[in-house]
Structure formats: structure tokens, C-alpha cells
């Protein structure tokens, strides 16, 4: 088996996607951040001193998706055509579930952009709330679905 990100000298390289066809591509990733019940209440009630946690985390996730190529060494820079971050509060488990849906039409997929978006949104929530809850836990960041390209459709079971 040959490794796609290694050149003939054994050094890292970015995969050449020049000859690939442009296709519509979607990546969906999810993750969560759990916290103390009072922390979640303060977020939902808009009482966090640093500001509107959901708005800031949403912008952070979108910005991270757009700049994934700057922090993941072998990622291509992509022209994203859509980025959406969705938050769902689970008061029973005191958890915020985060879902990122990233879209493009291009030669390579947007899975890494979706995963990076979820990660940045979760980290932003942590950053904005760490003064009141350092025990928050970011967890279970994973690819949910991807479509487009030669490998076709993937859906997590």
C-alpha cells in the first residue's frame, strides 16, 4: 500500500488533486461539551460576562472551517460555499451538542473543515465559560456524514 501523503523521498507532501473532478461535497461533524448545570443555565440565560456564548462560538466555528488549511498541514485551501453551526442544549445531561455542516463544490472533501469547526466552537465555549467552570469536558468529536467525490457517501451508523 502506498501512502498518499508521502513523496518518493519519504517526506510529507500535499496530495495532488489537479486531475480530480469538481463535485458537490458536504461534511457533517458533531461533538459536545458537558458542564455544570449552573454553567449551562448561565449560557442559556445570557449571563456569561464575556458575551453571547452561542454567537461567538458559531462565528469561531465558521472561521475555523474557513482556515482549516492553516492549522492542518496537509489540507488544501478550499472555497467553502456554506458553513452552519448548530447548538442543542441537553439540560438533563448538562451538555451542549454541536453540529457543523460544511459545503463546497471542489476537488476534495470538507470533512476536516467540519471537524475543525466543531472543535473550535467547543473550545470557544470552554474559553468563554472557564472562569466559572474549569471542569467542562469536550468530547466525542466525530464525522457524522460526508458526500461527494470518488469515495462517495459515508454515514456514521
Q: What is the CATH number of the domain that holds 55?
A: 3.30.70.640
pLDDT digits (tens, 9 = 90+) for 32-71: 999 999 999 999 999 999 999 999 999 999 999 999 999 9
Domain count within the chain: 1
Give the model's pLDDT for residue 87: 98
Grid look-up 502506498 returns 2
Strand partners, 25: 104
Specify the pTM.
0.93
Domain limits for position 114: 46-147
pLDDT for the residue 3: 65
Residue 1 lies in a domain: no
Determine the pLDDT at residue 42: 97
Q: Which of 84, 90, 127, 133 is catalytic?
A: 127
Specify if 38 maps to a domain.
no
Q: Would you say residue 84 lies in a domain?
A: yes
Residue with cell 451538542: 97
H-state helical runs in 72-110: none
Q: How far is CA 126 from CA 96, 130, 138, in A?
A: 11, 6, 8
The pLDDT value given to residue 40: 98
- The pLDDT, as a whole number, for residue 1 is 59
Which regions in the chain score pLDDT beneath 50?
Answer: none
What pLDDT is stored for residue 14 in this prediction? 78
Domain annotation covers residue 100 = yes
Residue 127 appears among annotated catalytic residues: yes
Is residue 12 a part of any domain in this protein? Answer: no
Does residue 37 lie in a domain region?
no
Amino acid at each position: 500500500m502506498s501512502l498518499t501523503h508521502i513523496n518518493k523521498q519519504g517526506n510529507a507532501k500535499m496530495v495532488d488533486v489537479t486531475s480530480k473532478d469538481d463535485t458537490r461535497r458536504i461534511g457533517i461533524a458533531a461533538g459536545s461539551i458537558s458542564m455544570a448545570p449552573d454553567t449551562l443555565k448561565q449560557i442559556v440565560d445570557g449571563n456569561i460576562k464575556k458575551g453571547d456564548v452561542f454567537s461567538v462560538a458559531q462565528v469561531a466555528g465558521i472561521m475555523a472551517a474557513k482556515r482549516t488549511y492553516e492549522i492542518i498541514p496537509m489540507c488544501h485551501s478550499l472555497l467553502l460555499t456554506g458553513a452552519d453551526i448548530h447548538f442543542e442544549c441537553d439540560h438533563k445531561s448538562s451538555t451542549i451538542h454541536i453540529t457543523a455542516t460544511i459545503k463546497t463544490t471542489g476537488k476534495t472533501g470538507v470533512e476536516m473543515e467540519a471537524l475543525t469547526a466543531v472543535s473550535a466552537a467547543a473550545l470557544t465555549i470552554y474559553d468563554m465559560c472557564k472562569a466559572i467552570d474549569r471542569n467542562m469536558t469536550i468530547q466525542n468529536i466525530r464525522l457524522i456524514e460526508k458526500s461527494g467525490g470518488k469515495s462517495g457517501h459515508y454515514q456514521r451508523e
